[in-house]
Amino acid sequence: MTGLNPTTDIILSISCFITTHDLNLLDAQGYHAIISTPTSTLTAMSEWCINTHTASGLVTACQAPTAISATQASDELLTYIKRYIPEPRTALLAGNSVHADKMFLVKQPWSGVIEHLHYRILDVSAIKEAARRWCSDDVLDRVPRKKNAHTAKEDILESLEEARFYMDLFKRME
């Protein structure tokens, strides 16, 4: 995203991986799109966003001929989700700090995606905060470390790895 304010900022890239209830990928490739973005929008980002998205190659990718419109990406993403989860209101939006993602997805042209998903979300960062408060240092030392690549695809895959860690903790409590 160009920032964290859904009123003024926009999505620059989006990725989606769909899993089973026990976090196994249904499609290892997932869905990914880079959104075509004007130079004026990219240069108006905060210094952190400019530095991070330039270093990852996202700024260049957003201006490449292969970048697509947000409308096209939204349509493709919804089609991708429906291929695996055709029943509306059953798939969860999940990942780290997904409440922020949801704030962007309720806006056009993305709202069709969020309308297809369940109203509940699975926020891995909320589970992480509970673990920080309730688990021993031994458990916390085993939490998968983030690489902080700050790309949509890598962030999701890291969130998935972390969610699997917490799922395993819960399963051992049975």
Active site residues: 150
Question: Nearest Cα to 18, choosing from 67, 88, 77, 61?
Answer: 77
Q: Compute φ and ψ for 68, nearest 5 degrees.
A: -120, 165
What does the CA dihedral 67, 68, 74, 76 come to, rounded to 10 degrees? -90
Structure tokens at 81: 């989700």
Cis peptide before 38 (omega within 30 of 0): no
The contacts of residue 48 (CB under 8 Å, 6+ apart) are: none
Q: What Å distances lie between residue 27 and 45, 76, 100, 149, 153, CA to CA?
A: 33, 15, 25, 22, 13
Question: What is d(CA 47, CA 51) in angstroms, rounded to the nearest whole number?
Answer: 6
